[in-house]
Structure 1
Amino acid sequence: MNYKYSGAILSVDELHENLNDPNLRIFDCTFYLHYEPGTGQPYRVESGRADYEAGHIPNAGFLDLQEEFSVVDSPYRFTLLSMEATAKAFANRGVDEKCKVILYSRENMQRATRFWWMLRWIGFDNVAVLDGGMDKWLADSLPVSTRACVYPTGRIEVKPRPTLFCDHHEVLNSIGQAGTCTLNALTPDLHSGADSRYGRAGHVPGSRNVPVASLLDPVTQEFLPSEDAARVFESVGATPDKKIIVYCGGGIAATLDAFVLYQLGYKNITVYDDSMSQWAVDKSLPIATN
């Protein structure tokens, strides 16, 4: 069994061999989430721009999710812009329909998969995630640059796929539905309710826990082989015949689960934007612990 869309996962060796391809648009998507107890916030967001400037993959630009691709006045950290505004933000950074986009991030790949899922949401498919990200690139002693890269403005035609993201109403209405499996991509302590950083402790009732780490090689941080990833999902009842809703803390980690599901050939996948950042503070919404 192989991943269904091989072009959506790129190895560091493949990227290294094609670094000077003028049709590539490479982007560092890194940002960091720092948990600071007692602040009343689930985390503090830190841009990865400083690390990008200190050293990045040659010819890579930088994408800032918080500053450029999220609603500024939302009560939640990473609320989606409109499709049109999202497409414009990508085009301003050089994404163009004639180019292939390569996305990578540091520490884990969920930052890159968030941008990958957003591009598919607006109908842009010529995009890949760098397997293992910057960590794998550095581990293999591949070249690093401090030269900033700014691509010329591109052009994107929006071809909407609105079902790739959902809101809390859709999640609520799916509770108890036999044809739907809801997955939580957060760590087990957050799913169980042992950690309550998002507000009320716990998870969406009936949801199963598939943490991002369960889909990655613990040493290289690359994606697991497809057979192993398939077993992870099937073990919690997430089978290809069902609608799969994925959530996390703010719609970031969930996109890595969603990315792997897509690679396994699942057809009906949606990510809950705002996720527990919204659900855990809205007392009208049910919550469970175990």
Structure 2
Amino acid sequence: MRKFLFILIACFILSTYLTMEGAASEVTYPNQQLLIGVEELAERLNDPNLMIIDTRNEGYGKGHIPGAFSFDTKKLVDSTHPVEGYLIREKPFEELMKTLGVRNEVELVIYDAGVDTAATRLFYALELYGHNNVRVLNGGYAAWEAFEGEQSTTGPEVKTSHFKAKTSPQIEVEKEYVKSGIDNPNKIILDVRSREEYKGEDVRTKRGGHIPTAVNIEWKEVLTDGVPFFKVADDIERMLQQAGVTKDKQVIIYCQKANRASHMYFTLRLMGFDHLRMYEGSWQEWGNDLHTPITNPNEE
């Protein structure tokens, strides 16, 4: 009897230990509220205070998360701006959100295919224009399919809203401001393009290379293989620190047309960074300007 009791107690202790270990191993981030998992979303599909937005370029009609509204992020591009890919300004964005039916008081959940920048591009635009109650689905639609979540082929009725935009002027910066970050010990310029673009081997403008003193972390390095979940916080933190991207510095982010930069913007927000700036013109503007300084190892 004593032996049996001892075994029961031992099993209880082991079970408690494993439970605690499992809880400790859960992935958490400094700004965890910016991310939502498929399990939580599945439980909240009928929440009237939640609006889900599908930003995939294709596939919505074949299957999407029930209740999700379809949104084409190409509409975020200002076709009249001289820099290709530039984000639309406050008033056009406001009208776009009204047409989609976004309300200022609603909580938004945005998703894309997974290894994509569409959801985080919209996330960035919403934060820039004053809507801060936004979450991104971890792993995107790839995670929802792996979870075998419920799917729908019909979209909800779209009702025009009274959305109001208000620009946060401290987020977006222009070319001259970026120049002030070169060799500045209090600022770090973060290039999130591929290594080939950064080194000037993959040239997509008049000139190839990168902004002088910029460090390079490709945007998708923060995602896991397979289902593209965000890597655990410790791994992302280690990656950032190795590149010199730390919270005591202002971080200026750029890529080619600011789409990949928007993904890194979200990643750094998730990781608790406060001093972030987005160079909207990115390399599309910088690389086509013959008067901007560049670093190109291929020309040294």
TM-score calculated relative to the size of structure 2: 0.85
| 1:156 match | 163
Name the residue aligned to 2:48: 22
For residue 245 of structure 1, what is the amino acid of its counterpart?
I
Are the equivalent residues in 1 in contact too, given 2:114–2:227 (CA < 8 A)? Answer: no
- Alignment correspondent of 2:229: 222
Structure 1, residues 137-185: CA drift from partner, whole Å, max 9, x if none? 1122222222123432223333331121212121122211111100011
Letter of the 1:159 partner, please give it.
Answer: K
Structure 1 pair 77–27 and aligned structure 2 pair: CA distance change class (3 A): farther
Identify the residue that residue 186 of structure 1 maps to in structure 2: 193
Asked which structure has the greater CA Rg, the reply is 2
| Aligned partner of 1:284 among 279, 284, 291 | 291
Residues of 2 paired with 1:171 and 1:136: CA distance? 36
CA distance in structure 2 between the aligned counterparts of 1:224 and 1:117, rounded to whole angstroms: 20
Letter paired with 1:24: L
Are the equivalent residues in 2 in contact too, given 1:248–1:275 (CA < 8 A)? yes
CA distance in 2, matches of 1:6, 1:79: 29
**1:109 Cα deviation after fit:** 4.2
Q: Aligned equivalents of 1:240 and 1:25: distance in 2?
A: 32
Q: How many residues align?
A: 271
Query: What SS is found at the alignment partner of 2:220?
Result: helix
- What runs of 5+ residues in structure 1 fail to find an aligned partner? 31-47
Q: Secondary structure at the match of 1:253?
A: helix
TM score, norm. by length of structure 1: 0.88
Displacement after TM superposition at 1:126 (Å): 0.9
Matched, 1:89 2:96: yes
The 1-side partners of 2:253 and 2:285 are apart by: 14
Structure 2, unaligned runs of 5 or more? 1-26
Matched ranges for 1:103-252 at <5 A: 103-252=110-259
Q: Residues 243-270 of structure 1: CA distance to partner in whole angstroms, max 9, x if unpaired?
A: 1000011011111211121122211101
Aligned 8 A contact 1:109 1:132 in 2: no
**Distance in 2, Cα, partners of 1:154 & 1:142:** 29
Whether the aligned pair in 2 keeps the contact of 1:104 and 1:129 (CA below 8 Å) is yes
Q: CA deviation at 1:189?
A: 1.0
Q: Deviations over 1:84-122 (max 9, x none)?
A: 321221122111122111111114242111111111111
Written as runs of structure 1 = structure 2, the 5 A alignment for 1:29-44 is: 29-30=55-56
Of residues 257, 268, 272, the one that matches 2:275 is 268
Larger fraction in helix: 2
One-letter amino acid of the structure 1 residue matched with residue 176 of structure 2: H
